[in-house]
Amino acid sequence: MHSSDRSREDIRRFVAQAARQDQFLEVVSGEEARARFHRHLDLSPRGEERVPLAASLGRVLSADVVAEVDVPGFDRSVVDGFAVRAADTVGAAEDRPVALRLNDEVLAAGHAPELTVEPGTATVIATGGMLPRGADAVVMVETTEAVERPDGLFVTLTRPATPGAFVAAAGSDIGRGEVVLRKGQALTSREIGVLAAIGLAEVPVVRRPRVAILSTGDEIVAPGQPIRTGAVYDSNGAILAAAVSELGGEPVPLGIAPDEDAALERLVAQGLECDALLLSGGTSKGAGDRSHRIVAQLSDPGIVAHGVALKPGKPLCLAVTGGKPVVILPGFPTSAMFTFHSFVAPVIRALAGLPPALAEEVPATLPVRLGSERGRTEYVMVSLVHGANEDELAAYPLSKGSGAVTAFSHADGFLAIDAQAEAMEAGTPVSVQLLGRALAPADLIVVGSQCIGLNAVLGRLIGEGMSVKALNVGSMGGLAAARRGECDIAPVHLMDPATGAYNTPFLAPGLELVTGYRRMQGIVFRRGDPRFEGRTAAEAVAAVAGLADCILINRNAGSGTRILTDRLLGAARPTGYWTQAKSHNAVAVAVAQNRADWGVAIETAANLYGLGFLPLQEEHYDFVIPTARRDRPAVRRFVEALETPEVAEALRAMGFVR
């Protein structure tokens, strides 16, 4: 068959499959999908085993632990001093010291006493030393004085001792027969210390559930392998394996399955030997999506839900066979991880013997408008920052799409938009569910435009131990955040179209500008393109603006580069004008991959991707600081770091001018 005929056949097959998609996707609510899933699962822990104490960190106790010894196992001193009879010290004072004869013995820790403390005597004892017969108290060495007399060595006391003073009685910490740790408790370093104190060498723990992990798709490449155009590295496999370990499971990576039924069937059968099977990708009805067809062959009962009214995560497929969970997660990383944490993580915790995780929620305010679509509950990852009032939080959406790998790592939590809502307006109070960790405010909050040069400054601060949170929302978004008092630093590069001046015209009362650095912007294009080679930026734009086959990749509205581009184009709207990229790198990648022919970006991005560059104009990348935050230690340190020779040299090496 001719290659063009094969292509047409592939297109027909894809269209036919897509047309049938609704026939297998019975979209149900998240609550209904979860109920169906749990109805058929066996959520009991997967047996128990005994492991060495040194290997028990993070494991879950399968039984109560009962102490077979007292801790301490004897009466012992908790200070350095002298073991005495309390009755001998009655009446001791500065003006009436009491003298006790010292016994010929020193009780170091681990030494069994041989002599009895008789009336009128005392014995030297170290911290941890065993209290000798006859003694019922210890006097600190700091409150005594040794005296040598003709008839021997004495110790004089100027304070009386009470019975039991500075003595830890046998069993006062742990008594024999006491339950020291309970079944179901996860072991940290603290619990392991308790187990060691009672002499336990082996620990009874729940067997970790073995969770098979299989990535699918011809486009998936293992990290470390060469990557071809159109392929992506397998991030889901690594993320899921780490998440399973965090939840008390044992990940069993099965690698990457190609879009081929026989190979996929073999790997699924292998995965079913474990306690659970997770697949990522192939759950939709697109070209090459095969996972759901293989899983559909399972029974007892098989697939219980395929399609959930959630965003992200609609293609989620939940199945059970013989009480064992089989889940096909969406291929996009954010969708995969959100559905994993919502539907799979509670199951793994149960199989590992852990109690359900407690969801912690905090109130916040949405600083920007969020659009949505009716029919699906939408969950939006957000990053939290303190507002002008330190007691208030602003929830910034991390709108990177379901394919973004970084959304979960940058997010503090997520908020929900009701299935019947079309939008959530700026200023709306929201409830943010935290992603399993306490919210710790960063020392420095940076909200605005992103640049690799900024990393030179922030990297220096992070190296000094400062915590930094940086949100890339563009220049206009950063300026708005600074006006609301929601950040310490707002990196901006905004040009006033009327005057050509950068940043200063946009300042409002209560905001200050700190000079940053300059970076050259210009036209990026593939080297050798005669439409651009040998021309100035203005000449090139004039020549190609009217060419239908010369495609522009534009920048997002509100960015400084978009303002510059619109000023350059005037009334012209070249092909591709409405296609927007959110970063200089995204513009350069689109041109390098031949999806566009030109765009406006910084010279550093052009050099990074081996593109031609026509200089257009230097832009000023500066920093807006709310006056109310100017004297914060982290802000002062940022400004100081910006002035250092090391940062200036790093910026020069990147092609920027300080």
Q: How confident is the model at residue 109 (pLDDT cuts 50, 70, 90)?
A: very high
Which residue type, as a one-letter code, is found at position 561? T
The answer to whether position 189 is within a domain reads yes
What's the mean pLDDT when you consider all of the chain?
91
The pLDDT value recorded for residue 312 is 87
The answer to whether position 219 is within a domain reads yes
* For residue 8, pLDDT beyond 90: no
Domain that holds residue 336: 26-43+208-351
Q: How confident is the model at residue 588 (pLDDT cuts 50, 70, 90)?
A: very high
Overall average pLDDT of the 103-120 stretch: 96
The pLDDT value recorded for residue 521 is 94
The answer to whether residues 267 and 301 belong to one domain is yes
The answer to whether residues 333 and 220 belong to one domain is yes
The answer to whether position 455 is within a domain reads no
Question: What would the pLDDT profile of 120-130 be if each residue is shown by its tens digit?
Answer: 999 999 999 99
Domain boundary among 434, 460, 493: 434
The pLDDT value recorded for residue 409 is 77
Question: What would the pLDDT profile of 345-391 be if each residue is shown by its tens digit?
Answer: 999 999 999 988 888 889 999 998 998 888 888 889 898 988 777 77
The answer to whether position 486 is within a domain reads no
Q: How far apart are CA 188 and CA 168, in angstroms?
A: 26
The answer to whether 615 and 541 have CB atoms below 8 angstroms apart is: no
| CATH number for 409 | 2.40.340.10
The answer to whether residues 338 and 304 belong to one domain is yes
> How many CA atoms are closer than 13 Å to the CA of 378, on its beta-carbon side?
18
The answer to whether position 599 is within a domain reads yes
The answer to whether 243 and 235 have CB atoms below 8 angstroms apart is: no
The pLDDT value recorded for residue 145 is 93
Determine which of 50-64, 476-490, 553-567 has the lowest per-residue pLDDT on average: 553-567
When comparing pLDDT for 428 and 229, which is higher? 428
Q: How far apart are CA 236 and CA 175, in angstroms?
A: 49
The answer to whether residues 231 and 327 belong to one domain is yes
* For residue 2, pLDDT beyond 80: no
Domain boundary among 382, 409, 434: 434
The pLDDT value recorded for residue 95 is 92
When comparing pLDDT for 583 and 87, which is higher? 87
The answer to whether position 444 is within a domain reads no
Q: How far apart are CA 127 and CA 620, in angstroms?
A: 66
Q: Give whichever of 198-202, 256-260, 336-340 has the largest mean pLDDT.
A: 198-202
Q: How confident is the model at residue 500 (pLDDT cuts 50, 70, 90)?
A: confident
The answer to whether residues 339 and 287 belong to one domain is yes
Which residue, 58, 34, 46, 62, is CA-closest to 351? 46
* For residue 565, pLDDT beyond 90: yes
The answer to whether residues 61 and 202 belong to one domain is yes
Which residue type, as a one-letter code, is found at position 620? H
Q: How far apart are CA 377 and CA 339, in angstroms?
A: 13
The answer to whether position 565 is within a domain reads yes
The pLDDT value recorded for residue 19 is 46
Overall average pLDDT of the 155-182 stretch: 95
Sheet containing strand 580-581, strands side by side: 490-492, 612-626, 511-525, 598-602, 552-555, 580-581
Residue 253: CB atoms within 10 Å: 17
When comparing pLDDT for 339 and 17, which is higher? 339
The answer to whether residues 65 and 201 belong to one domain is yes
The answer to whether residues 33 and 52 belong to one domain is no
Overall average pLDDT of the 481-492 stretch: 95
The pLDDT value recorded for residue 18 is 46
The pLDDT value recorded for residue 187 is 96
The pLDDT value recorded for residue 22 is 42
| CATH number for 156 | 2.170.190.11
* Overall pTM surpassing 0.85 (yes/no): no
The pLDDT value recorded for residue 21 is 44
The answer to whether residues 344 and 264 belong to one domain is yes
The answer to whether residues 342 and 371 belong to one domain is no
Q: Number of structural domains, the chain?
A: 5
Q: How far apart are CA 84 and CA 144, in angstroms?
A: 12
* For residue 203, pLDDT beyond 80: yes
The answer to whether position 406 is within a domain reads yes
* For residue 393, pLDDT beyond 80: yes
| CATH number for 603 | 3.40.190.10
The answer to whether residues 309 and 424 belong to one domain is no
The answer to whether residues 377 and 315 belong to one domain is no
Q: How far apart are CA 174 and CA 182, in angstroms?
A: 14
Q: How far apart are CA 539 and CA 537, in angstroms?
A: 5
Structure tokens at 26: 């019975």
Domain boundary among 307, 327, 351: 351
Q: How confident is the model at residue 435 (pLDDT cuts 50, 70, 90)?
A: confident
The pLDDT value recorded for residue 400 is 52
Q: How far apart are CA 121 and CA 155, in angstroms?
A: 9
Q: What burial letters (b/e) apply to 202-233, b meaning 16+ CB within 10 Å? A: ebbbbbbbbbbbbbbbebbbeeeeeeeeeeee
The pLDDT value recorded for residue 169 is 95
Q: How far apart are CA 600 and CA 555, in angstroms?
A: 8
When comparing pLDDT for 391 and 547, which is higher? 547
